[in-house]
């Protein structure tokens, strides 16, 4: 397994692999790898000749009061996990290479980036779309793998690649959860024991919503109200949003009669967690 830090070297290696007819599977990450990331890597390993994992904590997707400085960093552990899973290359660029002095170009997907997490984290998805575009250009993958936990991100990346004619196939893999239902996230390490227990209410609330819909309830406003009531019953009062939206446009829906996404973002102590389920 190689660790490549240079953009030029990554360009060169990818070109050499493609000239030889090798397919490249790509898993973009910010490190702090967990089982959710590893499930993406395993799928990439099954479906491609070469597997590239990027580890880059993208400063442009963090707000001024967010956790960029304390975001977990452990390249040694991440490298061991990647090697164990048969990764061929870790692309580990420095921010000064990705965003040199006087950098001025950004990618923004309109409408899809302004709602849900984008509404409470202005500029977040501009940072995400920009760095993913740059990584696609550098790595030149055939297939890129993303997790369903970050549903809005995945929808934005799919639209971006389609709109900009980027020749990368996007595969969105199921959200992995702990035994108690908590979605795997690098930020779970911030939770203390009580907060970790409280956080399980998020998936319970989403399952409750799904049950209500299966029982014939279609009024989105009433379903959201019940989700909120359940979350608040655990003493959690800081909710960024609870939304039921169209699965493609992310527009809010009033009556559930088509594919939809039920998404939420909630603060557990000082940690912001997101989760979602799709209804088809």
Catalytic residue annotation: 37
Note the residue count of the chain. 280
Round to whole Å and give the CA distance between 147 and 136: 17
C-alpha distances in Å from residue 134, one per residue of 125, 140, 224, 255:
14, 10, 37, 39
Q: H or E stretch including 181?
A: none
If DSSP states are collapsed to H, E and C, what string results for 79-103? Answer: HHHHHHCCCCEEECCCHHHHCCCCC
Neighbours of 276 (CB within 10 A): 21
- Rounded Cα gap, residues 190 and 141, in angstroms: 33
Closest CA relative to residue 245, chosen from 228, 217, 224, 266: 224
């Amino acid at each position: 397994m190689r660790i490549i830090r240079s953009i030029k070297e990554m360009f060169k290696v990818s070109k050499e692999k493609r000239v030889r007819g090798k397919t490249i599977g790509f898993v973009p990450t910010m490190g702090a790898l967990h089982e959710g990331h590893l499930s993406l890597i395993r799928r990439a390993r099954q479906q491609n000749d070469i597997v590239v994992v990027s580890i880059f904590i993208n400063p442009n997707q963090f707000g001024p009061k967010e956790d960029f400085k304390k975001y977990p960093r452990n390249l040694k552990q991440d490298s061991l996990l990647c090697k164990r899973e048969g990764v061929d290359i870790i692309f580990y660029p420095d921010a000064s290479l990705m965003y040199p002095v006087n950098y001025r170009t950004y990618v923004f997907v309109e409408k899809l980036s302004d709602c849900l997490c984008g509404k409470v984290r202005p500029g977040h998805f501009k940072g995400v779309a920009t760095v993913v575009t740059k990584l696609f250009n550098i790595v030149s993958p055939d297939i890129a793998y993303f997790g369903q936990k970050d549903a809005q991100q995945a929808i934005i990346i799919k639209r971006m690649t389609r709109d900009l004619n980027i020749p990368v196939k996007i595969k969105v893999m199921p959200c992995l959860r702990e035994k108690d239902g908590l979605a795997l996230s690098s930020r779970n390490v911030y939770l203390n024991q009580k907060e970790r227990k409280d956080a399980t209410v998020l998936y319970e609330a989403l399952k409750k919503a799904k049950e209500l819909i299966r029982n014939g309830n279609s009024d989105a406003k009433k379903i959201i109200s019940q989700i909120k009531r359940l979350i608040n019953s655990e003493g959690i009062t800081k909710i960024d949003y609870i939304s039921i939206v169209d699965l493609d446009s992310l527009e809010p829906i009033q009556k559930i009669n088509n594919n939809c996404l039920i998404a939420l973002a909630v603060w557990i102590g000082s940690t912001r967690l997101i989760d979602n389920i799709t209804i088809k």
